[in-house]
Amino acid sequence: MSIEWYVVLSSLLFAVGAMGILIRRSPVVILLCLELMLNAGNLALVAFSRMVGNQEGQVFALVVMVVAACEVVVGLGLIVAIFRRRLPLDVDELRELRG
Amino acid sequence: MEAVLFFAAALGALAGAIGVIALRNPFYSVLALIIHLFSLAVLFLLLSSAFVAAAQVVVYAGAVMVLYVFVVAYVGGGTESAWESIPGQRLLAPLLGIALLVELSIAVLGSSLVALGGDGPQVGAGFGDPAAIGYLLLEKFLVPFEASSILLLLAAVGAVVLASRQRGES
Amino acid sequence: MSATTYAWLVLLFPLLGSIVVALGFRALPARVAGAIGTAAIGLAFLCAVGALVNLLGQDPDARHHASSLWSYASAAGLDIKLGIYVDQLSTFMILVVTGVSALIHLYSFGYMRSDEGYHRFFSYLNFFVFSMLTLVLAGNFVMLIVGWAFVGFASYALISFWYRRGTATGAGMKAFVINVVGDIGLVLAAFLIFRELGTFDYGAVFAQAPEAFQRGEWTITAICLLLLVGAFAKSAQIPFHTWLPDAMEGPTPVSALIHAATMVTAGVYLIARTHVLFYLAPTAADVGAFVGLVTLLVAGTIAIAVTDLKRVIAYSTMSQIGYMIMGVSIGAYSAGLFHLMTHAFFKALLFMAAGSIISAMANRQDIDRMSGFWRAMRFTSAMLLIGGLALAAFPGTSGFFSKDSILAYAETRGGMYEWMAIGGYVGAFLTVLYTFRLIFRVLPGKPCPEAQELIETGHLYHAAPENPATGEAEDTEVGFPGAEHHIAEQSRPMAVAMAVLGVGALFAGLVQIPGVTDVLFGFLEPVFRDSPLAAIHPSVGHEWSGLAVGAAIALVGIAFAWLLWAERPSLPAAFRARLRPVYLLCLNKWYFDEAIDLLIVRPALAIGRFANRTFERVVVDGLVSGTAETVRGAGGIVRLAQSGFVRSYALLLVAGFAALALYFLLSSS
């Protein structure tokens, strides 16, 4: 399979993840969709690294994984804090920051 | 052989992704994502990136998803209401998703980057080995490596602060 | 020192006096301030005499010098210098101005003594003298306009001197506005002159004008008509005269100086100075003569009817200036200026005597309440009588010679000007009538209560201070006519000033007795030599016959006035009843104020109201507020995007990214 297939698959997964963020209301699921998008990005990086022939893309993908992990940690911490304060876990309900 | 594996893994990834966004119970969404991550690991292997595949399974599916499972267990798997409070959102979201997909595909397929059409150059056996990655991490990409460790530290501290009990709270 | 140096000093001293008195108003005691002010004008007078002496030492044909301090503006074809022009005419004028001003300052030294605004008064008065001298000594039209405008301002400041009086400030504004109308005429005339001749300088303009313009051409006529507008506004000729009677709200020395002797004569000076231009525009000159004639007759009729002492004298001024304007418009330049000089003497004297009487009357000015002052105040009454005789052109007085020199010239010129001379004689009869109406009401007879108090106790009558025009009470602490009043009998400076003017009023005519002395006309003759009109000289016999007619009119008039107002006081009342409409017309000043109000003031107010209500509120405010409202509305619309929904923000994000990607795809294909 040529590299194109992998990159197109990555675009498809990215689009699915974007759609998920727009549709779902639970913060946990939104973070999961964010993971989808990050992984789609990883797939594209690794594909390109294979295309070029060196491992720099793979190192990039590793760093992306680290960042994703950090972001998940903080995001989930937020969700736990929201849950602790007995607020509804629904991004449509949490909208006091508005004009 | 490679094509069969590719399509199987791709289907798995896609199924997992759609499962994440479609399943009502967040717990089931987490499980769908785990399937997705495994499928991606297979795809990485197909691309001769052994170390990344391993890291994907160990770190991502292993650590990060466990974290998700714990949190979902803690906060509960309440389903969301079906009623959409933002007018037009349910209509525009798929449209924009499709638009994104189409644009990115056109960008990739219509690209003048000829190498995309091929399989990539012949690589030796050590391509994607931990040794090669290790060399790159410690030589060429030392600064990003160190920076990401600091980032991890910050994230850990942040998480502790965020989730700690406030004074006077039950 | 040369004549021009003397002239610069003449300008300098009043200016310095004004500044020193103004700056030192806290430090200088009142008497010192008054002394400085008077001394400044006294020094100016001495320098004027010096300039005269210097000029007399020169060849009669070369007695004109221009001098400039520095160049005020020289660019793009303009070359305006801060310059003066010293010749016989300007020397004559500065002598008259500084001489009479010095005496009036001396009079004010005593008269304004107990006024809170003593320093301010002298500062303003000095500034006025400086402005008038600038006007007279100006060497180009720009300096003339500068002096003209300053004089207008000084007049405004001095009319509304007692600024807490509503009537005074209103009168000041009225004077200023009408003066500005005249200023517009003068400035437009200067613009036209510059456009046609390219220069403002007197020497250049008067030399080039005869070549540049055809006699009777419309440009030069327009210029002269505009100059006349300026002259009429400044000299209170119809229809720009309504400010002068109201200007009597100012203190009496102000009325004496500005509205009798100097400022109102600026128009006469202007026409005399620009006689070259007026010769080239005979239509304009005739307009000037006609307006002068009309003014002298109308003002005379009004003066017979009004009862306020100062206003009678004010209308008399208007009438006499009408003579002067008529004189210089028909070509009797030197005669008009002769009358200017004698009028300055006797009119200032009349005002000074009136001031003394008003002080004795505790600031009331109604002649119906006055009588018997001959027994109460001998000196003042004598001065009033001298001034009245000179005004009425009693044989031998200065007014006798000067007024008739104008009328004799008019007759000699012939044609329609003979009719003007006849009108002038009619006006002379009116003059005698109103003058002696005044005198026979105030002086003889049983003393009124105020005069009685003076006779018996030697003190002045005291009454609660009130506005003579409206009768409302006033507060003397804030600079109104002070609590104390001063009369000539009790104040040496006032008496000295009046005495000097009395001498002038009686004997100043002797410099120009037809056929015997020719001091003034001979002195001024070279200035007007370039005008063919000035070459017309009435014969000596003609002049003496005119003088005889004048003398007859004066004597008959005095007798008639004696009959009407001293012998049979019921007769005037009978006349008033029989000719009631005529009487009312004269008493109401020929309804000029009402006409101006109807024709000009109300439309202007209506335009202002329209501008405010419609234009300002709707258009301008609409634009400004409308812009603000539009911005606010737009902000309100944009604010709707800040819903607080994270997912809609995400939607916008993705949509934006999709659009951007589309753009790049399209642009690269």
Contacts of A76 in chain B (CB under 8 A): 67-68, 71, 159
Contacts of A6 in chain B (CB under 8 A): 43, 47
Q: C476: pLDDT confidence band, cut at 50, 70 and 90?
A: low
Question: Using CB atoms, which chains have 3+ pairs under 8 A with B?
Answer: A, C
- Please report, as a single letter, which amino acid is at residue C392: A
Q: Mutation target for C interface from B21, B84, B85, B103: give the one with most C CBs within 10 A.
A: B103
Provide the pairing of β-strand C65-75 with C78-86.
antiparallel
Whether B104 and A14 have beta carbons less than 8 Å apart is answered as yes
- The helix/strand count (H/E) of chain B reads as 7, 0
Return the pLDDT at B168. 54
Whether C261 and C105 have beta carbons less than 8 Å apart is answered as no
Q: Mutation target for B interface from C651, C653, C663, C669: give the one with most B CBs within 10 A.
A: C651
Tell me the pLDDT tens digit for each residue of C278-327: 988 889 999 999 999 999 999 999 998 888 899 999 999 999 999 999 99
Burial C629-651 (b: 16+ CB within 10 A, else e): eeeeeeeeeeeeeebebbbbebb
Q: What percent of chain C is predicted at pLDDT more than 70? A: 99
pLDDT of residue B169 exceeding 70: no
Contacts of B110 in chain C (CB under 8 A): 669
Whether C631 and C624 have beta carbons less than 8 Å apart is answered as no
> Rounded to an integer, what distance in angstroms lies between the CA atom of residue C329 and that of residue C274?
11
Return the pLDDT at C483. 62
> Rounded to an integer, what distance in angstroms lies between the CA atom of residue C79 and that of residue C88?
25
pLDDT higher at A19 or C581 = A19
Return the pLDDT at B153. 94
Q: What is the least distance, in Å, from the CA of C667 to any CA of chain B?
A: 12
- Please report, as a single letter, which amino acid is at residue C171: A
Residue C645 lies in domain: 593-668
Report the range out of B52-56, C506-510, C578-582 with the highest average pLDDT: B52-56
Once rounded to an integer, what is the mean pLDDT over residues C457-485? 71
Q: Which of C651, C657, C665 sits opposite B107 (nearest CB)?
A: C665
Cβ pair A96:C647 closer than 8 A: no
Tokens 């006519």 sit on residue: C481
Whether A56 and B132 have beta carbons less than 8 Å apart is answered as no
Residue A19 belongs to what H/E stretch? Answer: helix A3-23
Q: CB neighbours of C646 closer than 8 A, spacing ≥ 6?
A: A91, A94, A95
Q: What is the CA radius of gyration of chain C?
A: 30
Q: Is residue C533 part of a domain?
A: no
Q: CB neighbours of C617 closer than 8 A, spacing ≥ 6?
A: none
Return the pLDDT at C536. 79
Q: Mutation target for A interface from C646, C652, C654, C665: give the one with most A CBs within 10 A.
A: C646
Of C395, C394, C393, the residue nearest C406 (C-alpha): C393
pLDDT of residue C482 exceeding 70: no
Q: C371: pLDDT confidence band, cut at 50, 70 and 90?
A: confident
Q: What is the least distance, in Å, from the CA of A44 to any CA of chain B?
A: 10
> Rounded to an integer, what distance in angstroms lies between the CA atom of residue C88 and that of residue C528?
10
Return the pLDDT at C218. 87
pLDDT of residue B170 exceeding 90: no
Q: Mutation target for B interface from A58, A89, A91: give the one with most B CBs within 10 A.
A: A58
Q: Is residue C635 part of a domain?
A: yes
Once rounded to an integer, what is the mean pLDDT over residues A34-49? 95
Return the pLDDT at C9. 92
Once rounded to an integer, what is the mean pLDDT over residues C366-387? 87
Give the largest CA-CA distance in chain C: 120
Once rounded to an integer, what is the mean pLDDT over residues B130-147? 92
Q: Which of A43, A53, A84 sits opposite B120 (nearest CB)?
A: A53
Tell me the pLDDT tens digit for each residue of A72-81: 999 998 898 8
Give C95: exposed, middle or buried? Use CB within 10 Å, 0-12, 13-18, 19+: middle
- Least confidently predicted of B74-78, C547-551, C622-626, C644-648: B74-78
Return the pLDDT at C35. 92
- Per DSSP, helices labelled H in C361-397 are 373-376, 378-391
Cα–Cα distances in angstroms (integers) from residue C365 to residues B26, C82, C307, C469, C470, in the given order: 106, 44, 8, 8, 12
Return the pLDDT at C366. 83
> Rounded to an integer, what distance in angstroms lies between the CA atom of residue C406 and that of residue C546?
10
Give the count of domains, chain C.
1
Cβ pair A22:C654 closer than 8 A: yes
> Rounded to an integer, what distance in angstroms lies between the CA atom of residue A53 and that of residue C316?
117
> Rounded to an integer, what distance in angstroms lies between the CA atom of residue C241 and that of residue C232?
8
pLDDT of residue C63 exceeding 90: no
Which token pair is C137? 């000594």
Cβ pair C658:B96 closer than 8 A: yes
pLDDT of residue C396 exceeding 90: no
Q: Which of C643, C650, C651 sits opposite A98 (nearest CB)?
A: C643
Q: Is residue C643 part of a domain?
A: yes
Q: Is residue C579 part of a domain?
A: no
Contacts of C669 in chain B (CB under 8 A): 110
Contacts of A58 in chain B (CB under 8 A): 49, 51-52, 128, 133
Tell me the pLDDT tens digit for each residue of C204-239: 898 888 888 888 888 899 999 999 999 999 999 988
Backbone angles phi, psi at C266, to 5 degrees: -60, -35
Return the pLDDT at C578. 81
pLDDT of residue A55 exceeding 60: yes
Give domain limits for chain A: 3-84
Once rounded to an integer, what is the mean pLDDT over residues C134-163? 92
Backbone angles phi, psi at C79, to 5 degrees: -145, 90
> Rounded to an integer, what distance in angstroms lies between the CA atom of residue C76 and that of residue A98?
64
Q: How many CB atoms lie within 10 A of CB C65?
A: 19
- Please report, as a single letter, which amino acid is at residue C196: E
Q: What is the least distance, in Å, from the CA of A66 to any CA of chain B?
A: 7
Q: B27: pLDDT confidence band, cut at 50, 70 and 90?
A: very high
Of C375, C277, C292, A73, the residue nearest B158 (C-alpha): A73
pLDDT of residue A7 exceeding 90: yes
Residue A54: DSSP 8-state = S
What's the whole-number average pLDDT of chain C?
87
Q: What is the least distance, in Å, from the CA of C640 to any CA of chain B?
A: 13
Return the pLDDT at C292. 93
Q: Is residue C215 part of a domain?
A: no
Return the pLDDT at A99. 67
Cβ pair B68:A76 closer than 8 A: yes
Of C288, C281, C141, C287, the residue nearest C213 (C-alpha): C281
Backbone angles phi, psi at C74, to 5 degrees: -140, 100
Residues of C with CB under 8 A from a CB of A: 639, 641-647, 650-651, 654
pLDDT of residue A41 exceeding 90: yes
Whether C333 and C349 have beta carbons less than 8 Å apart is answered as no
Once rounded to an integer, what is the mean pLDDT over residues C16-44? 90
Tokens 């590719």 sit on residue: B6
Q: How many CB atoms lie within 10 A of CB B167?
A: 5
Whether C478 and C84 have beta carbons less than 8 Å apart is answered as no
Q: CB neighbours of C165 closer than 8 A, spacing ≥ 6?
A: C249, C467, C474, C480
Which token pair is C198? 């390219």
Return the pLDDT at C199. 86
Whether C493 and C356 have beta carbons less than 8 Å apart is answered as no
- Please report, as a single letter, which amino acid is at residue C37: G
Cβ pair C651:B96 closer than 8 A: yes
Mutual orientation of helices C333-360 and C266-273 as an angle, nearest 10°?
Answer: 170
Q: Sign (positive/negative) of CA torsion A2, A3, A6, A8?
A: negative
Residue C201: DSSP 8-state = B
> Rounded to an integer, what distance in angstroms lies between the CA atom of residue C407 and that of residue C545?
11
Q: Sign (positive/negative) of CA torsion B57, B59, B64, B69?
A: positive
Query: B98 at the C interface (CB within 8 A)?
Result: no
pLDDT of residue B148 exceeding 80: yes
Q: Is residue C465 part of a domain?
A: no
> Rounded to an integer, what distance in angstroms lies between the CA atom of residue C261 and that of residue C321?
10
Cβ pair B75:A74 closer than 8 A: no
Q: Is residue C184 part of a domain?
A: no
Residue B82: DSSP 8-state = S
Once rounded to an integer, what is the mean pLDDT over residues C384-388? 92
Question: Using CB atoms, which chains have 3+ pairs under 8 A with C?
Answer: A, B
Q: What is the CA radius of gyration of chain A?
A: 17
Q: B91: pLDDT confidence band, cut at 50, 70 and 90?
A: confident
Q: How many CB atoms lie within 10 A of CB B109?
A: 13
> Rounded to an integer, what distance in angstroms lies between the CA atom of residue B3 and that of residue C205?
109
Q: C130: pLDDT confidence band, cut at 50, 70 and 90?
A: very high
> Rounded to an integer, what distance in angstroms lies between the CA atom of residue C60 and that of residue C630?
78
Give me the count of residues in chain A.
Answer: 99
Q: What is the least distance, in Å, from the CA of C634 to any CA of chain A?
A: 14
Q: Is residue C343 part of a domain?
A: no
Once rounded to an integer, what is the mean pLDDT over residues C535-543? 81
Whether C463 and C362 have beta carbons less than 8 Å apart is answered as yes
> Rounded to an integer, what distance in angstroms lies between the CA atom of residue A31 and that of residue B141?
28
Q: What is the DSSP string of C61-116?
A: GG--EEEEEEEEEEETTEEEEEEEEESHHHHHHHHHHHHHHHHHHHHHHHHTTT-T
User: Is the domain A3-84 a CATH 3.40.50.1100 member?
Assistant: no
